[in-house]
A and B are shown apart, each in its own frame.
Chain A
Amino acid sequence: MTRFFAVARAEMRILQRNRWLLMATLIMVLFALALTFAGSAPTGSLGVDMLTVSVASMTTLSVYLAPLLALMISFDAVAGETDRGSLGLLLSYPAGRGEILLGKFAAHLAALAFAMLIGFGCAGAVAAWSGGAGPDSLIALARLIATSILLGAVFLTFGYLVSSLARSTTAAAGMSAGLWLIFVVLYDLGLLGAVVVDAGGSFTRHVFPWVMVANPADAFRLWNIAASDSVALSSGMTGAAQALPIWAAPLSLLIWPLIGFAAARGAFRRVEP
C-alpha cells in the first residue's frame, strides 16, 4: 500500500510541477464559463432555470473535453518512461506493475477530478447566481461532475493501454488522437449513417440504443440526459435514452474503467524496458 501511495504522490507532484494541473483546470473553467454564458439565451422559452441549461451545454462540452484531457495526461505514462529510459530502473524495484499503474491512475484521476470540480463548479455557481437553480438542477450538476470524472477514468486507462502498446511517445500520442477521434466522433457518425440507412427498421429500434450505450462517451451523454427530464428537454436528445433501461448507461460507464484498466495492465505486463 505504501508503494501505491509513493507512486501516486510522485505523479501528483509531477503534474503540479509541469503545470498540467493548472492548465487543465484553467481550460475547464474557461470552456465551462464560455458555454454557460453562450447558452443563457434559451432559458425563458424552455421554462427551466439557467443552471439546467448550463448543465446541458456542459454535458456536450464534457463529451469532447474529458476524454481529450484524460488522454493528454495518460498517453506518455508508460511510453514516456520507456523513452527516457527510466522504466527499467523503476521495474527493478519490488513494486508490482499493477501497483505502479494503479498509483499513476490514482494521481491522474485526482488531478482530472480537481479540474472538473473547479471548472464545472465555477460555471455552475455563476449560472445559479445569475439565473437561479433548484434542487433538480443542482443534482444534475453533481451528476455531470461525477460522470465526467468516470468518463475521464475510462480514457485514462485507454491512454495507458496505447502507452504500453506504442513503441515511442510520438506513436502513443498519435494512437491517442486516433482513439479519441473514433470514440468521440466517428462512432456516432457511423451509427448515424446506419440509422439513416435502416430508416426506422428493427436495427434502429432494438439494436441501435445498445450499440450506442456500449460506447463510454455515449453512455455518459445518455446517463446525464436520461436521468434528468429537464436536461433532456433542453438538449433535445431523448429518443435513445427512453429506449434503454435506466441502468444501461451507468453500467456501461462504470464497467469501462475496469475493462480499460485490465487491458492496460495486460499490455503493461508485456512491456520490456
Chain B
Amino acid sequence: MTDNILNIEGLCKDRGKTRVLHDVSLTVSPGERVALLGHNGAGKSTLIKIVLGLTPGNGGTISVAGHKPGSGAARSATAFLPEAVSFHPALTGREQMKLFASLSGEKADIPGLLDRVGLGDALDRRIGTYSKGMRQRLGLAQVLLGKPQVALLDEPTSGLDPISRQDLYAIIDELADGGCAVLIASHALTEVEARTDRIAIMRKGHLVANDTLEGLSAKAGLKTRLRVRATQNADEIASQIGGTRINGASVEILCGPDEKMAELRRITALGEAVADLEITPPRLDDLYRHYAKEGVQ
C-alpha cells in the first residue's frame, strides 16, 4: 500500500460511550480527488480531525505520507481547510498568510497566492471586513501554501457563489494535477458536482460506499425514466410498450441501466406514433439519497 499517500484502516472512534466511527477504511493516492459525503453528524469532520491529529482515534491505523497523524512530518505534508473557516478579524489577509507561511516554514509568494484565489485587491484589508466568501477564499489560499501532499477540505463550497465554486474546483484540479491527494468532505453529492475521481459515502459512522460515480450508479441500480409523448393515442402506446400513462398524451417507463437501449429500440420501432422522447437519468441527489438512507451493509 505504498502508493497511497493517505491510508486509513479500520479506524474507530468513541465519544463517551457512543461509537462515532465504525471500522472506517479509506485510502487516497497522489493526484486523486475523493469526495467524502454524508449527513451532518455522519462522522466526516471527526474523521478529518483524526487524520489531522487533533483528536486521537480508538483503534485502527492511519498513515499520512508515511507518518503518524499529528506528527510534525504529517502536519507539514497536510493542508487543511476547516468548515466555516475563520481568522482573527484584526489581521490583514497578507499578515495572516505571512503567519501561516512562517508556521509551515515555507517561503511563499503571498501576493501571487492571494491573486490566484481572487483576493489580490483585499491583500491589505483587515479580515474583519471580508465577506464569508472572501474568508473561504483566504482559507483556500492557505491550502495552496507550500506544496501539500494531502489536502483535507471540509465543506469547501459552503458560502461560495456558483462562479467561486467553479474557481474552487479549478484550484482543486490544479492541486491534484500537482500530485496532491485531495479529500473533500461535503454533505451532498450535488455540492461536489461529481467533479471527483471517487466517492465515499458515510452514514452514522460507517463507510457505506466507496466507488466511482459510474460504479455507484450501477450498484444502486437506480431506474432511468423514459417519457414518451404520443402523437395521437397514448393508450395505444402504453398497451404496446408497457409503462404507465401519466397524462392525456404521455407514457412513462422506468428501466434499469441494462434495459435502457432495448426499451429505446422498442420505442423507436413505433415510428410516427411517438412525437417526442425525454430521458431522465437518475440524478446525483437520488443516488446520494439511495446510499445515505440505505441500511448498513
Contact = CB atoms under 8 A, between A and B. Distances in A.
Interface of A: 2-3, 5-7, 9-10, 13-14, 17-18, 84-86, 88-95, 272-273
Contact of A94 (B81, B88, B95, B103): B103
A13 B104 contact: no
Nearest to A95: B103
A249 B155 CA distance: 54
Nearest to B139: A89
Contact of B100 (A14, A17, A84, A93): A93
A10 to B, nearest CB: 5
B105 A7 contact: no
Interface stretch (B70-78, B196-204, B206-214): B70-78
A193 to B, nearest CB: 43
Interface stretch (B48-56, B159-167, B175-183): B48-56
B80 A14 contact: no
A9 B99 CA distance: 8
Contacts of A88: 49, 52, 54, 80, 82
B103 A6 contact: yes
Contacts of B85: 85-86, 89
B22 interface: no
B98 interface: yes
Given A88-B80, A88-B82, 14 more contacts: A2-B105, A5-B102, A10-B88, A10-B99, A13-B95, A85-B84, A88-B49, A91-B52, A93-B103, A94-B103, A94-B105, A272-B54, A272-B55, A273-B49
Nearest to A272: B55
Q: Lowest 3 A-B CB distances belong to which pairs? A: A6-B102, A17-B90, A94-B75
B88 A89 contact: no
B5 to A, nearest CB: 16
B55 A89 contact: no
A7 B49 CA distance: 23
B214 to A, nearest CB: 34
B91 interface: yes
A89 B80 contact: yes
14 contacts: A2-B102, A3-B102, A6-B98, A13-B91, A88-B49, A88-B80, A89-B81, A90-B103, A91-B54, A92-B52, A92-B78, A92-B80, A94-B75, A94-B105
Interface of B: 49, 52, 54-55, 72-73, 75-76, 78, 80-82, 84-88, 90-91, 95-96, 98-100, 102-105, 126, 139, 142
A150 B108 CA distance: 38
A272 B72 CA distance: 18
B86 to A, nearest CB: 5
Most chain B CB within 10 A, of A3, A7, A89, A92, is at: A92
B88 A84 contact: yes
Contacts of B142: 89
A86 B86 contact: yes
B91 A94 contact: no
B91 A10 contact: yes
Contact of B90 (A9, A18, A93, A94): A18
A94 B82 contact: no
Contacts of B88: 10, 14, 84, 86
Given A13-B90, A86-B87, A93-B100, A273 B54 contact: yes
A14 B91 contact: yes
Contacts of A92: 52, 54, 75, 78, 80
Contacts of A13: 90-91, 95
A22 to B, nearest CB: 13
Contacts of A17: 90-91, 126
